Amino acid sequence: MLTSETIALGTAMAGNRVLIIEDDDGTAGELGRILEGAGIGSDRAASLDEGLARAADEAYGLILLDRMLPGGDGLDIIPQLRGDGHGTAVMVLSALGRTVNRVEGLDRGADDYLAKPFEPEELIARARAMLRRVAAQPGADLVTLGDIEIHLKARTVHRRGRHVALSPKEFKLMKFFADHPGEVLTRMMLLERVWNLRFDPQTNVVDVHVGRLRKKLEAAGEPPVIRTERGTGYIFEPSA
Partner DNA sequence: CCCCTCCATGACATCATTTGTCATGCCCTT
Partner DNA sequence: AAGGGCATGACAAATGATGTCATGGAGGGG
- Binding residues for DNA, per CB under 7 A? 165, 167-170, 195, 201-205, 207-212, 214-215, 228-233
Alpha-carbon gap, residue 162 to 146, rounded angstroms: 14
The reply on whether position 180 binds its own copies by CB under 8 A is no
Of 56, 96, 115, 124, which one interacts with its own copies (CB under 8 A)? 124
Peptide bond into 79 cis (omega under 30): no
Alpha-carbon gap, residue 18 to 85, rounded angstroms: 16
Task: Pick one of its own copies, DNA, none as the site partner of residue 110 (Cβ within 5 to 8 A by kind).
Answer: its own copies
Query: Please, are residues 178 and 143 in contact by the beta-carbon 8 Å criterion?
Result: yes
CB atoms within 10 A of CB 10: 9
Of 129, 135, 184, 235, which one interacts with its own copies (CB under 8 A)? 129
The reply on whether position 136 binds its own copies by CB under 8 A is yes
Task: Pick one of its own copies, DNA, none as the site partner of residue 80 (Cβ within 5 to 8 A by kind).
Answer: none
Alpha-carbon gap, residue 13 to 134, rounded angstroms: 10
With a CB cutoff of 8 Å and minimum separation 6, the contacts of 50 are 21
Binding mask 78-117 for its own copies (x = CB under 8 A): ---------x-x---------xx-xx-xxx-xxxx-----
* Cβ 221 to its own copies shortest distance, Å: 29
Of 11, 80, 137, 239, which one interacts with its own copies (CB under 8 A)? 137
* Cβ 134 to its own copies shortest distance, Å: 9
Task: Pick one of DNA, its own copies, none as the site partner of residue 168 (Cβ within 5 to 8 A by kind).
Answer: DNA
CB atoms within 10 A of CB 158: 15
Looking at the Cβ atoms of 125 and 208, the one nearer to DNA is 208
Alpha-carbon gap, residue 26 to 32, rounded angstroms: 10
Looking at the Cβ atoms of 129 and 205, the one nearer to DNA is 205
* Residues engaged in binding its own copies (CB under 8 A): 87, 89, 99-100, 102-103, 105-107, 109-112, 119, 121-122, 124-126, 128-130, 132-133, 136-139, 141, 151, 153-155
